[in-house]
Amino acid sequence: MHRQHFTPNQIEMSTLLSIKTGGCSEDCSYCAQSKRNQKPIEKTPLMCLEDVLAAARRAKQAGCNRLCMGYVGRGPSSKDLEPICEMIAEVKRIGLETCVTLGLLTRDQAKRLKGAGLDYYNHNIDTSPEYYSQVITTRTFEDRLKTIEYLREFGIKVCCGGILGMGESNDDRISMIVALANLNPHPESVPINWLVPVPGTPLENPPQMNSFDFVRTIALSRIMMPTSRIRLSAGREAMSDELHSLCFAAGANSIFQGDKLLTVNNASAERDQKLFSSLGLFRQER
**Tens-place pLDDT, residues 103-120:** 999 999 999 999 999 999
Q: What share of residues in the chain are helix, strand, coil (percent, to 5)?
A: 40, 20, 45
| Domains of the chain, earliest start first | 2-280 (3.20.20.70)
pLDDT tens per residue across span 166-210:
999 999 999 999 999 999 999 999 999 999 998 889 999 999 999
CA distances (Å), 224 to each of 152, 176, 218, in order?
20, 11, 10
> How are beta strands 254-256 and 189-194 bridged, if at all?
unpaired
Query: Measured between alpha carbons, how far is 235 from 92 in angstroms, rounded to an integer?
Result: 28
Beta bridge partners of 255: 13, 232
pLDDT tops 80 at residue 2: yes
* Positions marked catalytic: 24, 28, 31, 68, 99, 159, 231
